[in-house]
């Protein structure tokens, strides 16, 4: 099955569209992207309790999806079709940990399941917003937290939303009263990994974990 954040019933549509563009794309990898905004949600004691993420699908994938949803919307209208898409995206992402890795120091942080989410159209692009809870609240003061969000097969690239090469001010934010410093680090993949990704065809899956080597890293240090 094609690796994707999208539900299986829509994958065929995107495969067809990607195939039509293949001569122009020269079979480059990845084949789509997501613009990410991340907000750390703290509880009243200054502990991290959830990651609020906003994913904006790239304009081409959004256009294809919106056209398909409008054809399939039935009596409930586009809003109901988008709600159904959100449910399917959540179910598809759940076994993959919502593409999210979270660490405090060298320790991997456990994540929960998403129950709070929505999908809508903004400026011609589909946006998926969801709240990813931690398995347990996490102390933030005096610690450095790091996260990566990536498609393991690197079929879809995930990057923080930016203006040119500069991430937007709200691409990484922290809610609450703690004094925190944030930064977004670019990926620095091994040239062999770059070559391996470039050799993948439109129907190929990358090796498990390939996307990790191309993922940006968000860092948050709170006093």
Q: Return the pLDDT at 18.
A: 46
Q: Return the pLDDT at 210.
A: 83
CA 105/CA 98 separation, integer angstroms: 21
Q: Return the pLDDT at 2.
A: 42
CA 64/CA 99 separation, integer angstroms: 23
Is the sign of the CA dihedral 16, 19, 24, 26 positive or negative?
Answer: positive
Q: Where are the domains of the chain?
A: 8-22+30-222
CA 115/CA 130 separation, integer angstroms: 8
Q: Return the pLDDT at 1.
A: 36
The tally of CA atoms less than 13 A away on the side-chain side of residue 169 is 0
CA 171/CA 116 separation, integer angstroms: 20
Q: Return the pLDDT at 220.
A: 96
CA 4/CA 88 separation, integer angstroms: 12
The set of residues, in sequence order, having a beta carbon less than 8 Å from that of 55 and lying 6+ positions away, is: 5, 34, 35, 36, 127, 128, 129, 158
Cα first-last separation, the chain: 45
Rounded to 10 deg, the angle between the 8-25 and 59-72 helix axes is: 140
Q: Smallest Cα–Cα separation from 131: which of 56, 51, 55, 54?
A: 51
- Is residue 145 within 8 A of residue 38, CB to CB? The reply is no
Mean pLDDT by 10 residues, the chain (223 residues): 56 46 45 93 93 96 88 78 92 94 94 97 95 96 92 89 90 89 89 71 64 92 88
Is the sign of the CA dihedral 118, 31, 185, 135 positive or negative?
Answer: positive
């Amino acid at each position: 099955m094609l690796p994707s954040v999208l539900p299986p019933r829509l994958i065929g549509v995107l495969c067809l569209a990607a195939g039509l563009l293949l001569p122009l794309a020269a079979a480059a990898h990845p084949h789509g992207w997501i613009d990410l905004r991340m907000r750390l949600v703290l509880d009243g004691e200054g502990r991290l309790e959830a990651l609020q993420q906003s994913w904006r699908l790239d304009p081409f994938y959004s256009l294809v999806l919106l056209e398909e949803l409008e054809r399939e919307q039935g009596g409930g209208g586009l809003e109901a079709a988008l709600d159904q898409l959100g449910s399917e995206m959540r179910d598809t992402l759940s076994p993959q940990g919502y593409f999210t890795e979270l660490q405090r120091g060298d320790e991997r942080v456990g994540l929960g399941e998403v129950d709070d989410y929505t999908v809508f159209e903004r400026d011609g692009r589909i946006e998926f917003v969801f709240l990813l809870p931690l398995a347990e609240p996490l102390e933030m003061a005096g610690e450095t937290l790091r996260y990566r969000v990536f498609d393991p097969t690197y079929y879809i690239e995930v990057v923080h939303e930016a203006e040119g090469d500069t991430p937007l001010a709200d691409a990484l934010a922290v809610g609450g009263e703690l004094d925190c410093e944030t930064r977004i680090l670019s990926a620095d993949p091994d040239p062999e990994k770059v070559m391996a990704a470039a050799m993948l065809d439109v129907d190929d899956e990358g090796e498990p974990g390939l996307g990790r080597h191309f993922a940006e890293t968000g860092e948050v240090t709170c006093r």
